[in-house]
Amino acid sequence: MNSFTLTHFPHTWFRKRITPLEDAHLPVTSKALQYGLGFFGGVRGYVGESSSAIHLFRLKDHVARFLQSARILGVSVGYTPEELQDIFVQLTRKNAPTVDTYYRPYAFADSTDISPHYLGNAEYTFALYMLPLGDYISTTEGNAVCVSSWHRVRDNAIPARGKLSGAYTNSALAKQEAVANGFTDAILLTEDGHVAEGTAMNLCMVRAGTLITPPVQDDVLEGITRDTVLTLARDCGIPTVERSIDRTELYVADELFFCGTGAQVAWISHVDRRRIGAGVMGPATKHIREMFFEVVRGKQKKYAHWLTTVQI
Ligand SMILES: Cc1ncc(COP(=O)(O)O)c(C=O)c1O
């Protein structure tokens, strides 16, 4: 089941104020569009016990990661981390969502000259919009995925460490190929043949009771859900290791799952048509998945510091 929807909330943050989404336009001459000169984030807001409040998950960390992309590009967005967090809260109050919501912060080169470069210390324009979002890929049924014929972009080409707009052509090529071949998603390898991540999510493997995920040096996004999963695993006594993973280790893994803001915790049943483990959601995945959904909905007080709760 996939409850993906593209109906956006009507208000957006654009050019320093709340404005109707329908008025938030870029000209066709924009070099953000033509060269992918922008960067973005993705944050989820979960409805808790009562629909009069929404919990934004790890907002402070998402904002910090968003600004990390700016540092990689050598640009600024003209707001402090605190101001950006406040814009999320303001827009939430304005749109008043009563369902699980995805937030897309975006900063882009607001210029129409034809050179792809942007002068140092330039300010990118910040925008934020919101849409209702359920599962992006299934979190209940097993996902059958493939190893992509496309490699993950490497750090010295388009750094995967940043959420840089242009780099998502790499994700699009891999996803397109995977879906055309009947898979849900793809796992991309680094140029030296190690496992990197999915098209828009990190990957975790369980072997002999240990949770293993590729290190941040293997051309992956420094995922906030990845960090959440590692923390939850350690806290419940599952040993964790960050190390490179070979392609064929995927085939002999006991459990595999994707994790990301979009993907949440989504288990993988098959890779390249080989069944993973017993072909059911494995015990470690099940445990982490259950904890994850309790944490994001505010049911685990220990992790309440990860939530920014906005009363609607
Ligand atoms: C390429 C890529 N890897 C990993 C992730 C997961 O990161 P996070 O958990 O911070 O959302 C995402 C999506 O956000 C992504 O686009």
Q: How many angstroms does the Cα of residue 114 sit away from the middle of ligand 1?
A: 30
Q: How many angstroms does the Cα of residue 221 sit away from the middle of ligand 1?
A: 6
The per-residue pLDDT of the chain, averaged, comes to: 95
Q: How many angstroms does the Cα of residue 162 sit away from the middle of ligand 1?
A: 10
Listed residues 101, 132, 163: the one ending a domain? 132
pTM value is 0.96
Q: How many angstroms does the Cα of residue 222 sit away from the middle of ligand 1?
A: 7
pLDDT digits (tens, 9 = 90+) for 181-205: 999 999 999 999 999 999 999 999 9
Quote the number of domains for the chain.
Answer: 2
CATH number of the domain within which 20 lies: 3.30.470.10
Q: How many angstroms does the Cα of residue 174 sit away from the middle of ligand 1?
A: 15
| Phi/psi at 59 (5° precision) | -55, -45
Between 122 and 40, residue with greater pLDDT: 40
Together in a domain, 72 and 147: no
Q: Which ligand 1 atom minimizes the distance to the CA of 261?
A: 11
Res 141: pLDDT: 97
Mean pLDDT calculated for residue range 29-46:
96
Together in a domain, 77 and 180: no
Residue 18 — pLDDT band, cuts 50, 70, 90?
Answer: very high
Percentage of the chain with pLDDT > 70?
97
Residue 51 — pLDDT band, cuts 50, 70, 90?
Answer: confident
Q: What is the extent of the structural domain holding 36?
A: 11-132
The residue behind tokens 């990957």 is 203
Res 3: pLDDT: 45
Structure tokens at 246: 């070979």
H-run or E-run covering 39:
strand 38-40
Outline where DSSP puts E strands in 83-167.
Answer: 101-108, 125-132, 143-151
Res 107: pLDDT: 98
Q: Which ligand 1 atom minimizes the distance to the CA of 163?
A: 16
Residue from 308, 312, 311 nearest 85 by CA: 308
Measuring from each residue's beta carbon to the nearest atom of ligand 1, which residues come in under 6 Å?
A: 42, 197, 200-202, 221, 223-226, 260-262
Between 119 and 1, residue with greater pLDDT: 119
Together in a domain, 201 and 291: yes
Together in a domain, 95 and 178: no
Q: Which one of 68, 158, 202 would you pick to mutate in the ligand 1 pocket, going by the greatest count of ligand atoms within 8 A of its CB?
A: 202
Together in a domain, 179 and 242: yes
Mean pLDDT calculated for residue range 37-43:
97
- 2 has pLDDT over 50: no
Mean pLDDT calculated for residue range 153-162:
96
Nearest residue CA, atom 4 of ligand 1?
201
Residue 306 forms part of a structural domain = no
Together in a domain, 115 and 171: no
Residue 5 forms part of a structural domain = no
Nearest residue CA, atom 16 of ligand 1?
200
Q: How many angstroms does the Cα of residue 93 sit away from the middle of ligand 1?
A: 26
